[in-house]
C-alpha cells in the first residue's frame, strides 16, 4: 500500500442553504479544495461522494455533483454509511490511491437536508437502525436512541444534565468563532442549555446537533505526487472501520459504542498506539457529537480516559484548547452543523488545517506538539464507526506530547 496524503481541502458554509442547489453547494467546497492544492478538475482521476440522501431531490448525487463540478468523465461513486457517509467517502478515495488505482482522488461530502420538512428528516434519521422493530413498533427517534445512552450513563456514573450542557457550551464557544459553522457567532450558557426544551428526556434542544445543509471536499494524492503538489502534506496514517448491531436490544450495555471502540482499536494498532491514555499521542481531535452524550462516550471509546471518567474531562475543561486533549475546536456537529454526508469530510478538513496550523481565528488553533490528529465519525447510533488518524510525518512512530 502506498502512502496517501491530503493535499487540498475545501469547506462550504454550513447552515440552511436554500440559496443553492446540491451541485452548487458541492462546488463551493470543491472549488476551494482545488485552489488549495493548485490543481484543476482534469487532475482528479477518481472521486467519491458521501451522501446519505432521502430528504434531497437528487437520487443520483454523485452524477449531479460530478457534472456541475466539471469532474466528468472521471470514475465516481456515491457511498452511504448513515452519519459516517463522509468518512466512508474519504476511506474509499484513500483506498483508491493507496492501492495504486488512482494517483489523485477526491472525497466530497454533501447534503441538502432542508429540502424536506423537519418531520420527514426526523423520520429518515430515525430509520438509522432496525427500522421495522424499533421505529415502527416502538416509535424510537434518533434523539430517543441517544437518550437511552444518556440515561444509562447518568445512572451508572452519576453524571448530570448540567455536565452534558457544558459540552454544548464548549462547542458553541468554538463554533461561534468558525465562519463556516451553522451557529457562527452564537454562544450559549449552561443555564440556557438547561432551560431549552426537551427533545427526548434527558436530551434537550441544546444537547442536540441541528439539521444542516453543507459540503466539504478533500483531495488525496500518492506519496510521489503529494510532495510535488504541496510543502505541507497531511498523511492519513491509519483508518479503523467497524459496525454495530442494527437492533439496539442486542447490545450488552448503553454506556459506550462498541463499534467506535473496535474501530479505534484497529486504527491504533496499525500505528503502534495502545488503546489507553491515548490523549498523549494526539494534539487535537474531532469527535462525533450528534448529541452531547455522544461526545462524552467518544472520549472513553477512544481511550482518552477510562470508562466513566469522560465527564471528568468536561468538568475540568480539559477538552478546551490548552487542555489534556482539545476536542471539536471547529464547533463539532453541535455548533458547526451536521449535514449527514458531509460531516466526516468536514472533520478531515479541520484536522488538516489544525496540523498545518492554518486555522483562523487563532483562538481555534490547537497547540501542535507531535503533529498527530484524530477524527471519530459515527453512523447512526454506533451502527457504523470510522476512526481516521492524520500525521505531519509519513512514517514516524507515535510520540508523546508534554502534559500541560
What would the pLDDT profile of 151-191 be if each residue is shown by its tens digit? 999 999 999 999 999 999 999 999 999 999 999 999 999 99
Interatomic CA distance for residues 114 and 212, integer angstroms: 7
| pLDDT digits 0-9 by tens, 261-304 | 999 999 999 999 999 999 999 999 999 999 999 999 999 999 99
Residue 382 has φ and ψ, to the nearest 5°, of 75, 25
Residue 283 has φ and ψ, to the nearest 5°, of -80, -30
**pLDDT confidence tier of residue 126, bands split at 50, 70 and 90:** confident
Q: Please give the helix or strand (H or E) that residue 53 lies within, else none.
A: none
Cis geometry, peptide bond prior to residue 202 (ω within 30 degrees of 0): yes
What pLDDT score was predicted for residue 138? 64
What pLDDT score was predicted for residue 362? 96
Cis geometry, peptide bond prior to residue 296 (ω within 30 degrees of 0): no
- Tell me the mean pLDDT in the region 229-250: 95
Interatomic CA distance for residues 301 and 403, integer angstroms: 21
Mean pLDDT computed over every residue of the chain: 95
Q: How many CB atoms lie within 10 A of CB 90?
A: 33
What pLDDT score was predicted for residue 404? 64
C-alpha cell at 291: 448529541
Residue 122 has pLDDT above 90, yes or no: no
Catalytic residues: 83, 338
Interatomic CA distance for residues 237 and 233, integer angstroms: 12
Interatomic CA distance for residues 346 and 352, integer angstroms: 10
Cis geometry, peptide bond prior to residue 285 (ω within 30 degrees of 0): no
Percent of the chain with pLDDT over 90: 90
What pLDDT score was predicted for residue 6? 99
* Domains in the chain with CATH codes: 4-116+211-229 (3.40.47.10)
What are the angstrom distances between the C-alpha of 136 and each of 123, 133, 139, 146?
10, 6, 6, 17
Interatomic CA distance for residues 292 and 295, integer angstroms: 5
Interatomic CA distance for residues 166 and 305, integer angstroms: 18
147-166: b or e for each residue (b if 16 or more CB lie within 10 Å)? bbbbbebbeebebebebbbb
Residue 351 has pLDDT above 70, yes or no: yes
**pLDDT confidence tier of residue 1, bands split at 50, 70 and 90:** confident
- Tell me the mean pLDDT in the region 14-29: 98
Q: Is the dihedral of CA 355, 360, 304, 98 positive or negative?
A: negative
**pLDDT confidence tier of residue 54, bands split at 50, 70 and 90:** confident
| Local structure of residue 290 (DSSP, 8 states) | S
Residue 380 has pLDDT above 80, yes or no: yes
Amino acid at each position: 500500500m502506498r502512502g496517501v496524503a491530503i493535499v487540498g481541502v475545501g469547506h462550504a458554509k454550513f447552515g440552511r442553504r436554500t440559496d443553492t442547489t446540491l451541485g452548487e453547494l458541492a462546488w463551493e467546497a470543491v472549488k476551494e479544495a482545488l485552489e488549495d492544492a493548485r490543481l484543476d478538475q482534469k487532475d482528479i482521476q477518481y472521486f467519491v461522494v458521501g451522501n446519505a440522501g432521502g430528504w434531497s431531490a437528487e437520487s443520483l448525487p454523485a452524477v449531479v455533483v460530478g457534472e456541475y463540478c466539471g469532474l466528468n468523465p472521471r470514475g465516481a461513486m456515491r457511498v452511504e454509511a448513515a452519519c459516517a457517509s463522509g468518512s466512508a467517502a474519504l476511506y474509499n478515495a484513500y483506498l483508491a490511491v493507496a492501492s495504486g488505482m488512482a494517483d489523485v482522488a477526491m472525497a466530497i461530502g454533501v447534503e441538502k437536508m432542508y429540502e424536506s420538512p423537519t418531520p420527514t428528516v426526523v423520520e429518515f434519521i430515525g430509520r438509522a437502525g432496525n427500522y421495522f422493530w424499533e421505529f415502527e413498533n416502538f416509535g424510537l427517534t434518533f434523539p430517543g436512541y441517544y437518550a437511552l445512552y444518556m440515561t444509562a450513563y447518568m445512572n451508572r456514573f452519576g453524571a448530570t444534565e448540567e455536565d452534558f450542557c457544558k459540552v454544548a457550551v464548549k462547542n458553541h464557544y468554538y463554533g461561534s468563532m468558525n465562519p463556516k459553522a451553522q451557529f457562527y457567532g452564537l454562544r450559549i450558557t449552561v443555564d440556557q442549555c438547561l432551560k431549552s426544551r426537551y427533545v427526548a428526556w434527558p436530551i434537550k434542544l441544546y444537547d442536540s446537533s441541528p439539521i444542516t445543509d453543507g459540503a466539504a471536499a478533500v483531495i488525496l494524492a500518492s506519496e510521489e505526487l503529494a510532495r510535488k503538489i504541496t510543502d505541507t502534506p497531511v498523511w492519513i496514517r491509519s483508518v479503523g472501520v467497524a459496525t454495530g448491531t442494527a437492533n439496539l436490544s442486542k447490545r450488552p450495555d448503553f454506556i459506550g459504542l462498541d463499534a467506535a471502540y473496535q474501530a479505534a482499536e484497529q486504527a491504533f494498532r496499525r500505528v503502534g498506539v495502545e488503546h489507553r491514555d491515548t490523549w498523549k499521542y494526539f494534539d487535537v481531535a474531532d469527535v462525533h457529537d450528534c448529541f452531547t452524550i455522544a461526545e462524552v462516550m467518544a472520549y472513553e471509546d477512544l481511550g482518552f480516559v477510562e470508562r466513566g471518567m469522560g465527564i471528568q474531562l468536561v468538568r475540568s475543561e480539559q477538552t478546551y484548547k490548552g487542555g489534556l486533549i482539545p476536542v471539536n475546536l471547529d464547533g463539532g456537529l453541535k455548533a458547526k452543523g451536521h449535514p449527514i454526508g458531509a460531516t466526516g469530510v468536514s472533520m478531515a478538513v479541520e484536522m488538516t488545517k489544525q496540523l498545518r496550523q492554518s486555522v483562523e481565528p487563532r483562538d481555534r488553533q490547537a497547540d501542535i506538539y507531535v503533529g498527530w490528529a484524530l477524527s471519530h465519525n459515527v453512523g447512526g447510533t454506533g451502527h457504523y464507526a470510522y476512526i481516521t488518524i492524520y500525521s505531519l510525518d509519513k512514517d514516524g512512530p507515535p510520540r508523546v506530547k508534554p502534559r500541560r
